């Protein structure tokens, strides 16, 4: 299925994929929206990344998504690329799946045979360019919970160049109350065949004082037990090291953001 084409068409041009049929979703009406609905923000699958980047609703209610958007490729890519396309493509280094994971977003998919179903992010992103989508299903909506008061967010990436896929990225969502961390969520990309939540690190932060030591400890927990891939751009050891650095930086930044009012 062809959404924005920014990831799929290069694969076709390089003859790495040869689908027998390509269905263009841009002709399907009603998939392009950003709506606050009760406790979540619903974003239609065909909503262009640029529209999400500019959305005041997203900025106010799903700030992690808002700060992640400028990290995605370049302007011309975001003009055409869609949030649904990015989620369905499930590149392990993509930002939107990490945001979905870190915010416990839900994915709504539909098939003509079985109707709609809602899938948690944890269940949706299954592996290397692979999701829970059945062959006859299309992703139609992403639902991001509205951010709670006192929450700060950050998305730190290490890229070879501005706009490149992250070698490693870390998303942090931290809620503080009276100078203590109430709750933290951490998701990392570039470390596995899919984005990963770092729950052990999150648990270590629950109730903790937001000190450098706490961040470092959480970052170490986040990096431990990871076996990131090695490639041209970074060895496995380097990526694991980057997780420690970027998770720490993301936590510092998110806490600061939360203390500034979130």
Partner 1 sequence: MSQQVAQRYVGSPIKRSEDRRILMGAGTYVDDVKLPGMVHAAFLRSPFAHAAITSIDTSLAREAEGVLLVYTGEELEALLAPGPYGIGVIMGMEKPVFSCLATDKVRLVGDLVAIVVAESRYLAEDATELIEVGYDELPPIVTVEQAFDPSNPPIFEDLGSNILVQSEPRSYGDVEGAFSRADHVLRVTISQHRHQNVPMETRGCVASYDPATEHLLMWSANQGVHHHRSTIAGRLRMDPEKVRIRTADVGGSFGLKLGGSREDVAAAAASRALGLPVKYIEDRYENLTASGQAREESFDVEAAYTDDGDILGLKVKMVMDGGAYPGLAGALPSVIERMLPSAYKIAALEFQSTVIVTNKATYVAYRGPWAAETFVRERVIDLVAHELGREPFDVRMQNVVTRGEEPTVMITGRSLAGVTVRESLERLGELVDLPGFRREQEAAKAEGRYLGIGMASYIEAAPGPKMQGMPLGREEMRMELAEDGKLIVFTGQMPHGQSHETTIAQIAADEFGVAFEDVQVVFGDSDIVPPGFTGGSRSATMAGGAAIMTARALRAKVLETSSHLLEANVADMRIENGAVSVVGVPASAMSLADVASAVRQPGRLPEGVDGELKVENVYDGGSGGWSGGTHCAIVEVDHETGLVHIERYVVTEDCGELINPAVVDGQVRGGVAQGIGAVLLERSAYDDRGNYLTATFMDYLMPTTMDIPNIEITHLETVPLDPDVNFRGIGEGGMIVAPPTICNAIEDALAPFAVRIYQQHLPPAKLLELIGVIEPD
Partner 2 sequence: MSDTVDILLTVNGTQRSANVEPRKTLADVLRDDLELTGTHVGCEHGVCGACTVLIDGEAARSCLTFAVQVRGSEIVTIEGLAEDGEMNPLQQAMRASHGFQCGFCTPGFLMQITALMNENPKPSEPEIREALSGNVCRCTGYQSIVAGVLRATGQSPISDSTHQE
Contact set with partner 1 (CB under 8 A) = 10, 14-15, 158, 160-165, 167, 230, 232-238, 241-242, 245
Q: Is the CB of 79 or the CB of 236 nearer to partner 1?
A: 236
By a kind-dependent CB cut-off of 5 to 8 A, residue 245 interacts, out of partner 1, partner 2, none, with partner 1
Task: Scan for tokens 């270590």, then name that residue.
Answer: 204
Q: Is the CB of 77 or the CB of 132 nearer to partner 2?
A: 77
Where does this chain bind partner 2 (CB under 8 A)?
A: 2, 5-6, 9-10, 12-14, 22, 24, 26, 50, 73-77, 79-80, 161-163
Per DSSP, the residues of 127-163 read ETTEES--TT-EEEEEEEEPPPTTEEEEEEEE-SSTT
Residue 98 CB neighbours (<10 A): 30
Q: Is the CB of 104 or the CB of 164 nearer to partner 1?
A: 164
* 196-197 sheet: strands from edge to edge: 151-158, 168-177, 180-189, 196-197
DSSP classification of residue 166:
P
> Minimal distance in Å, beta carbon 66 to partner 1?
21
Collect contacts of 135-138 with beta carbons under 8 A, ≥24 apart: 136/111, 136/112, 137/109, 137/110, 137/111, 138/1, 138/25, 138/45, 138/109, 138/110, 138/111
> Minimal distance in Å, beta carbon 82 to partner 2?
12
> Minimal distance in Å, beta carbon 161 to partner 1?
6
Q: Is the CB of 7 or the CB of 55 nearer to partner 1?
A: 7
> Minimal distance in Å, beta carbon 211 to partner 2?
33
By a kind-dependent CB cut-off of 5 to 8 A, residue 235 interacts, out of partner 1, partner 2, none, with partner 1
Instruction: Tell me the residue ranges of DSSP E strands in 26-114.
Output: 34-37, 40-44, 106-111
Q: Is the CB of 200 or the CB of 231 nearer to partner 1?
A: 231
Of the candidates 144, 139, 142, the one whose C-alpha atom is nearest the C-alpha of residue 110 is 139
Q: Is the CB of 26 or the CB of 236 nearer to partner 2?
A: 26
First-to-final CA distance of the chain: 37
By a kind-dependent CB cut-off of 5 to 8 A, residue 5 interacts, out of partner 2, partner 1, none, with partner 2
By a kind-dependent CB cut-off of 5 to 8 A, residue 26 interacts, out of partner 2, partner 1, none, with partner 2
By a kind-dependent CB cut-off of 5 to 8 A, residue 6 interacts, out of partner 1, partner 2, none, with partner 2
Decide if 170 contacts 201 (C-beta within 8 A).
Answer: no
Q: Is the CB of 4 or the CB of 234 nearer to partner 1?
A: 234
Cα dihedral value 134, 40, 46, 135, nearest 10:
0
> Minimal distance in Å, beta carbon 225 to partner 2?
34
């Amino acid at each position: 299925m062809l959404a924005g084409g920014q990831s799929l068409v290069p694969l076709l041009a390089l003859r790495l994929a040869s689908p027998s049929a390509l269905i263009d979703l841009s002709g399907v009406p009603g998939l392009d929206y950003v709506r606050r609905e009760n406790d979540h923000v619903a974003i239609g699958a065909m909503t262009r990344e640029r529209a999400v980047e500019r959305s005041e609703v997203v900025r106010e209610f799903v700030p992690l998504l808002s700060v992640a958007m400028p990290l995605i490729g370049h302007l011309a890519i975001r003009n055409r690329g869609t949030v649904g396309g990015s989620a369905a493509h499930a590149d392990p280094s993509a930002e939107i799946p990490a945001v979905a994971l870190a915010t416990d977003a839900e994915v709504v998919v539909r098939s003509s045979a079985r109707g709609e179903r809602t899938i948690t992010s944890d269940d949706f992103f299954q592996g290397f360019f692979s999701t829970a989508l059945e062959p006859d299903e299309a992703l139609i909506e992403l639902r991001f919970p509205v951010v709670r008061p006192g929450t700060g967010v950050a998305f730190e990436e290490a890229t070879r160049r501005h706009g490149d896929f992250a070698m490693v990225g870390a998303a942090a969502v931290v809620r503080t109350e009276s100078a203590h961390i109430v709750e933290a969520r951490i998701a990392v990309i570039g470390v596995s065949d899919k984005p990963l939540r770092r729950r052990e690190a999150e648990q270590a932060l629950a109730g903790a004082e937001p000190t450098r030591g706490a961040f470092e400890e959480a970052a170490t927990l986040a990096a431990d037990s990871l076996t990131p891939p090695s490639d041209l751009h970074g060895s496995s050891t380097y990526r694991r090291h980057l997780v420690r650095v970027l998770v720490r930086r993301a936590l510092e930044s998110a806490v600061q953001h939360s203390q500034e009012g979130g």
